[in-house]
Chain A
Amino acid sequence: MNDDTTNHDRTPAAIEDMLADLELTGAEAEGLRALLGDVAGLASEVPEPSQNVRALLGGAVPLRSRRRLAAVAAVAGALALGGVSAAAAANRLPSHVQEVVADATGGVVPHPVKPTDPPNDAPGRDQPDQPDRPTNAPDDAPGQIQKSTKPDPSDPGPARPADPGSHGRAHNEANDRGAEQFEDDDDDEDGPGRRANDKSD
């Protein structure tokens, strides 16, 4: 501690004020002065400053400001990372950067990432060259209905509930649509739900 900035001869001025207010004299005043001196003596222990207080005493950036800076940095980092990720997903990054991102992603993602299908109107989309067309193609695409919904008559297909009106059947109605069409192929006006009701009746 720097002695030129502090005065170690401490006698609280308030003690004399308090004694003056009581208008005590002589030995009574001396006795009470001694008691109040003991009270002042209670403040003899300098508590060990905590880490945060120590940082503030050292002239460091106040704690609140440091938290604010950290929050701003975190937000900026997250935005930058999101921008790079979006650009990489859209394949808009320069090739060498794209490779770096792909390598980094390969090290992070726990399973191989399957490439997503390009849109149907994407250049290079050639249906005849893709016999195993994924099921997310539109239903009105040429050849789609027969291929995906009409089973091979020689194939018994998935097991169906014995009771046509059972709960399981109602739930699996959409999945069984192809089989229904196979059974009532000429009944074009009734929807699958209607056909199910008719059968249960």
Chain B
Amino acid sequence: MTPVLTDEVVAKARAGDPSALTALYEALAPGVLAYLRNRGSRDAEGLTQEVFLQLLPRLHRITGGASGVRALVFTIAHSRLIDEFRRRSRSTEVPYESDLDGRQHHSAEREVMEQWGPSGIGTLLARLGDDQRMVILLRVLGDLSLDETARVVGKSVGAVKQLQRRGLLALREHAEGSGEPG
């Protein structure tokens, strides 16, 4: 089970305590990895390492205890993901013609289906709108409040609340359609 990050761990980590730094990594890295993976990053593990390379050197300057660190680490992760999406969009300027491509490559949805099965939680999340999925993942995996989530994604609290509500209802609907509880 993933440990919860506490203010005490953050205080010790800020002081450079190696065991607290390790605890901080073990508490946050799984959520960051899962967020990046389920948002569609093609190199979620590498991006996770970049997030911590950016976070750890500035740890001593972070205020707000555990929630402050959680908000910052997911802000960094979100930004790096946007960077990756932009890089990808720049590199696909040549129009793709599937008839000319002899390679076999699974779609992202099919890969998720193969990993989770038709009723797995990854598949259900993949069926949500991108913004709805983003909000639900940040709230659950990052354990962020509405305010913190709104700051991370650069939207108003009201907009985030609406995305969350629609996302949860859609999630329940997809689960009912696939036989999942909910």
Contacts and interface: CB of A to CB of B under 8 A. Distances in A.
A54 to B, nearest CB: 9
Contacts of B2: 10, 43-44, 46
B161 A53 contact: no
A49 B181 CA distance: 36
Chain A interface residue number, banded? 35 or more
Contact of B19 (A1, A28, A30): A1
Contacts of B175: 31, 35
Contacts of B121: 35, 38-39, 41-42
A52 B51 CA distance: 12
A100 interface: no
Contact of A1 (B4, B23, B181): B23
Given A1-B19, A44-B2, A53-B53, A14 B145 contact: yes
A59 B16 contact: yes
B143 A14 contact: yes
Contact of A64 (B57, B146, B161): B57
Interface residues of B, number: 59
A57 B168 CA distance: 37
Given A32-B171, A41-B121, A59-B16, A1 B26 contact: yes
B20 A42 contact: no
B11 to A, nearest CB: 10
Interface string A102-145: 00000000000000000000000000000000000000000000
A88 interface: no
A176 to B, nearest CB: 62
A14 B49 CA distance: 25
Contact of A8 (B3, B37, B57, B180): B3
Give the residue among B8, B37, B48, B168 with the most A Cβ atoms within 10 A.
B168
Contacts of A62: 56-57
Contacts of B29: 46-47, 49
A78 interface: no
A15 B140 contact: yes
Contacts of B80: none
From A32, A34, A38, residue with most partner B Cβ within 10 Å: A38
Contacts of B22: 1, 57
A102 to B, nearest CB: 47
Interface stretch (A16-24, A79-87, A151-159, A192-200): A16-24
Nearest to B51: A53
Given A17-B145, A49-B25, A44 B30 contact: yes
B145 to A, nearest CB: 7
A5 B20 contact: yes
B3 A7 contact: yes
A49 B121 CA distance: 26
B150 interface: no
B141 to A, nearest CB: 5
The 6 closest A-B pairs by CB, nearest first: A31-B182, A6-B3, A38-B121, A43-B30, A42-B34, A62-B57
Given A8-B3, A39-B121, A56-B56, 6 more contacts: A22-B168, A43-B30, A44-B2, A46-B29, A49-B49, A56-B57
Interface of A: 1-2, 5-10, 12-15, 17-18, 21-22, 28, 30-32, 34-36, 38-50, 52-53, 56-59, 62-64
